[in-house]
Structure 1
Amino acid sequence: MSSFLIKNALIINEGKKFAGSVLVKNQLIEEIYTSAPEVTDKNWTVIDAAGRLLIPGVIDDQVHFRDPGMPQKGDLYTESRAAVAGGTTSFMDMPNVKPQTVTQELLTERYKLGSEKSLANYSFYMGATNTNLEEILKTNPKSVCGIKIFMGSSTGNMLVDDIDTLSQIFEKSPMLIATHCEDTPTIDKNQAEYQKKFGDDIPMEYHGVIRSAEACYKSSSKAIELAKKYNTRLHILHLSSAMEMDLFDNSIPAKDKRITSEVCVHHLWFDDKDYLTKKSRIRWNPAIKTKKDQDALWEALLDDRLDVVATDHAPHTPEEKDGNYMQAAGGGPLVQHSLIAMMEQARRGKISMEKVVEKMCHTPAEIFQVEKRGFIRKGYYADLVLLKEDDWTATNANSLYKCGWTPFDGEKFQYKVDKTFVNGHLAYDNGVFDDSTKGMRLSFER
């Protein structure tokens, strides 16, 4: 593998922004310099990064790459390439594929797919059901990111709504539990009321009223109650409401918390007024809600009640997304644009670049205890991203998702990913991929 000297970059890492250079050798960060060092080895490939930002690779703790079983939406090859092009070097993929990842045998098969197809580093959650506790307890905390529980509406048998089962999983889980929290009876009741009024053609702007803040709070508070009762390591995904923010703590560092939290890029970018123009293209579960909810999410992110920014990347074909309220699928593709969107928010003054790196790179590594990733540190894997200033417009045509569209269609950005290194391999270089070296399975220091 080539050695790279990335020199003259503006490095953003561990709360600091400084001019420096990084030497990459044998998959790892060999050295970090505060100046441009003399080139002492003719085998080094020198990259002059003057005018560019250098950050650790993004770790996305929640994606749905749809592999196996849903090739029309996406797969590990296409979506991992889109991720790397967007500066995401590691991802944690959800179990609601076909077949659902609810046995150790199926989990092993998914890791085999990852090793064959993924350009980024990968991990896969073990899925929980009302009936697979024995399989859950076999999961290895050192080689699997977590247990995923759908405590809200889901497909097939992945909705875990039996309180005895939930209690046993929370009590006995050998590792981190990640939850989707929405109260299904509340959602069903709300939906029935609006169907009575509008039929199946419910205006899309009512999505956040149907999948309401109350539905989210009821489920999130139940998960936290169980976690506190059993001292479970709990991570609540894609929080979306102001009401839920009072459930979380910022009195200790994220790495020391037993209960942590995630917000997604779309809940920070869009609010319910955007349904009028974007319609079903911004239909997610949990729903995008009001500007008041969005403002509360930003406040909690900046004061560290919210710990992680991720995507919930969930591609659907245009045909699956478009249609009336009862037909349109929930979810959308985001991994190519998540880092760029957050850097745009930094440019607009909503958040600092240092905070973006903390929430998208450092903290996911810390709370999942990912081994030797998430920071620019000597001896860590060289998962690195170079960003350049470049005015450009995201369109469906220049998106790399297999589904062929982006909710950011027409959005103007001021930063672009120039190069992405995955384990020291230059996987993406100004629009050109090198698929010759695949990503690695993540390991965890637990």
Structure 2
Amino acid sequence: MKSILITGANIVNEGRISPGDVLVKDGKIAKIGADLSSEHADIHIDGRGKHLFPGVIDDQVHFREPGLTHKGEIYTEAKAGVAGGTTTYMEMPNTVPQAVTIELLEEKFARAKEVSLANYSFFLGGTNNNLEEILKLDLKNVCGLKVFQGSSTGNMVVDNIESLEGIFKEYKGLLAIHSENDHIIKANLDEFKTLYGDDIPVKFHPKIRSEEACYDASSRAVAMARKYGTRLHVLHISTAKELELFDNSIPLEQKRVTAEACIHHMWFSEEDYSTKGNLIKWNPAVKTATDRDKIFQAMLDDRIDVIATDHAPHTLEEKALSYTKAPSGGPLIQHSLVAMLDFYHQGKITLEKIAQKMAHNVAILFQIEKRGFIREGYFADLVLVDLDSSWTVSKENILAKCGWSPFEGHTFKSKVTHTVVSGHLVYEEGTFHEEKKGERITFLRNK
């Protein structure tokens, strides 16, 4: 593997920004110093005027492989990720077939080893009847268990209360949960179908997948986690009301219940349905501007611990269908870091906080081994950013296989120029170096 020397960058790491150099050898960060210009390296990257971040770790993506590869593939979506500064992802089980056995899960790992340009892990999916399989998980080699406590793409909902309680009671790893109450959603949907049939205006999506549906499910999950001491991670918080369920009075390392905010719930509001339509139809739904702003504040004050994308591509043809037939989800992984950097330019967040929420905290929360920080001896997952290089999202530069983005037409103020994955320079000023693939990440856990 070629060694890399990055010189003169502003290093954004562990609450500080400091000028310095970083030497990468054999996949790891070998040295960090004020002046390493005398060090030999095969590749020299001039970082002057740029900022060096730890690579983004996205703990919730849907790459659609196997079985749904007309929407996306591990190769295409990981490629979009590294172009946007994501060096590691954790992918969800609602593929075809669903990853609900160890055998099917390992097939996804094997495929990623062949094609993924980013580092990877995959969630096992929970069902009403696979607890025995769940308890076989090697917690050192798999990021966690995903349970849908509300139906979404793939309809993997765990709706048997005895099954759900059994998972919370018996499973000892990290349980990531999609929390929406299906019964409340169905009642709301029936009401709107009575009025509109299948052509429900998408602006009613947050009324159908309502605040009540989210809070009911999230509060039940949190109560169950506290009852059994489960390590619970609540995904994609979409309402201000849910924020009362989470704590910022103790360090992240000590939390047993944590939460995630996604880019779209901090960027869009229900006002955007009039222009974006089904392109911003997600589950859970984008809701009010108040919800959006309070979620952002909770991310800043540490009630919400990490930022992710819930990257979930569908084709434009699918998104053009009527409300009841158009699937929920959209592509975001290529634009997550630059979107957060736009918030920095607006004075809403610091660069240090972005590094914390998109890299450091994800590594801490999942107990990832030697990633998420710029430290000597750690794997070299690095992203170099030019904060003052604007560019506009267009069909020509969208890399997700679906070929569209809810950000199309938006001009971002910052640009990712280089991405290093496990010590390999995989992305350089628009060019990909694909000879080395990403690695399976591991976790510092007991089992």
> What is the alpha-carbon distance in structure 1 between the residues aligned to residue 242 and residue 173 of structure 2?
24
Give 1:161 shift. Answer: 1.0
Structure 1 residue corresponding to 2:200, chosen from 186, 189, 202: 202
Structure 1 pair 351/223, CA: closer, same or farther in 2 (3 Å)? same
Indicate the residue corresponding to 1:408 in structure 2. 407
> What is the alpha-carbon distance in structure 1 between the residues aligned to residue 233 and residue 219 of structure 2?
12
Give 1:346 shift. Answer: 0.8
Give 1:203 shift. Answer: 1.0
> What is the alpha-carbon distance in structure 2 between the residues aligned to residue 116 and residue 155 of structure 1?
26
> What is the alpha-carbon distance in structure 2 between the residues aligned to residue 285 and residue 138 of structure 1?
30
Conservation of the 8 A alpha-carbon contact between 2:153 and 2:327: no
**1:222-264: CA deviation from partner (whole Å, max 9, x where unpaired):** 1101100000000000000011000000001112200000010
Indicate the residue corresponding to 1:21 in structure 2. 21
Q: Is 1:59 matched with 2:79? A: no
Indicate the residue corresponding to 1:418 in structure 2. 417
Structure 2 residue corresponding to 1:283, chosen from 277, 281, 292: 281
Q: Is 1:143 matched with 2:169? A: no
What TM-score do you get using the length of structure 2 for normalisation? 0.98
Give 1:174 shift. Answer: 2.6
Q: Is 1:4 matched with 2:18? A: no
Structure 1 pair 354/234, CA: closer, same or farther in 2 (3 Å)? same
> What is the alpha-carbon distance in structure 1 between the residues aligned to residue 152 and residue 199 of structure 2?
22
Identity fraction in percent:
54
Structure 1 residue corresponding to 2:237, chosen from 239, 243, 247: 239
Report the secondary structure of 2:52's partner residue. Answer: strand
1:19-98 matches, within 5 Å, as 19-33=19-33, 35-41=34-40, 43-98=41-96
> What is the alpha-carbon distance in structure 2 between the residues aligned to residue 330 and residue 37 of structure 1?
49
Conservation of the 8 A alpha-carbon contact between 2:152 and 2:283: no
Q: Is 1:160 matched with 2:158? A: yes
Give 1:79 shift. Answer: 0.5
Give 1:156 shift. Answer: 5.3
Give 1:348 shift. Answer: 0.6
Paired amino acid for 2:15: G
Q: Which moved more, 1:347-356 or 1:138-147?
A: 347-356
Paired amino acid for 2:390: D
Paired amino acid for 2:30: E
**1:183-210: CA deviation from partner (whole Å, max 9, x where unpaired):** 0000011111111112211111111111
Indicate the residue corresponding to 1:225 in structure 2. 223
> What is the alpha-carbon distance in structure 1 between the residues aligned to residue 37 and residue 322 of structure 2?
62
Paired amino acid for 1:15: G
Indicate the residue corresponding to 1:211 in structure 2. 209
Q: Which moved more, 1:184-193 or 1:389-398?
A: 389-398
What TM-score do you get using the length of structure 1 for normalisation? 0.98
1:261-272 matches, within 5 Å, as 261-272=259-270
> What is the alpha-carbon distance in structure 1 between the residues aligned to residue 37 and residue 252 of structure 2?
39
Task: State the aligned residue count.
Answer: 444
> What is the alpha-carbon distance in structure 1 between the residues aligned to residue 129 and residue 36 of structure 2?
59
Conservation of the 8 A alpha-carbon contact between 2:269 and 2:286: yes
Indicate the residue corresponding to 2:353 in structure 1. 355
Give 1:57 shift. Answer: 0.2
Conservation of the 8 A alpha-carbon contact between 1:129 and 1:157: no
> What is the alpha-carbon distance in structure 2 between the residues aligned to residue 420 and residue 125 of structure 1?
25
> What is the alpha-carbon distance in structure 2 between the residues aligned to residue 362 and residue 348 of structure 1?
23
Conservation of the 8 A alpha-carbon contact between 1:130 and 1:158: no
Flag structure 1 segments of 5+ consecutive residues without an equivalent: none
Q: Which moved more, 1:156-165 or 1:372-381?
A: 156-165
> What is the alpha-carbon distance in structure 1 between the residues aligned to residue 6 and residue 253 of structure 2?
30
Report the secondary structure of 1:332's partner residue. Answer: coil
Conservation of the 8 A alpha-carbon contact between 2:236 and 2:310: yes
Give 1:324 shift. Answer: 1.7
**1:280-329: CA deviation from partner (whole Å, max 9, x where unpaired):** 00000000000011111011111100001000000000011112211211
**1:107-141: CA deviation from partner (whole Å, max 9, x where unpaired):** 11111011011000000001000011100000010
Q: Is 1:108 matched with 2:109? A: no
Give 1:155 shift. Answer: 5.0
Indicate the residue corresponding to 1:260 in structure 2. 258
Conservation of the 8 A alpha-carbon contact between 2:172 and 2:230: no
Conservation of the 8 A alpha-carbon contact between 1:147 and 1:175: yes
> What is the alpha-carbon distance in structure 1 between the residues aligned to residue 177 and residue 346 of structure 2?
32
**1:38-72: CA deviation from partner (whole Å, max 9, x where unpaired):** 3242x442211101110000000000000111111
Report the secondary structure of 2:334's partner residue. Answer: coil
Indicate the residue corresponding to 1:307 in structure 2. 305
> What is the alpha-carbon distance in structure 2 between the residues aligned to residue 396 and residue 199 of structure 1?
33
Q: Is 1:130 matched with 2:128? A: yes
Q: Which moved more, 1:321-330 or 1:118-127?
A: 321-330
Paired amino acid for 1:217: Y
Flag structure 2 segments of 5+ consecutive residues without an equivalent: none
Conservation of the 8 A alpha-carbon contact between 2:153 and 2:328: no
Conservation of the 8 A alpha-carbon contact between 2:67 and 2:96: yes
Conservation of the 8 A alpha-carbon contact between 1:383 and 1:422: yes
Q: Is 1:393 matched with 2:392? A: yes
**1:125-171: CA deviation from partner (whole Å, max 9, x where unpaired):** 01000011100000010000000000001355621011111111011
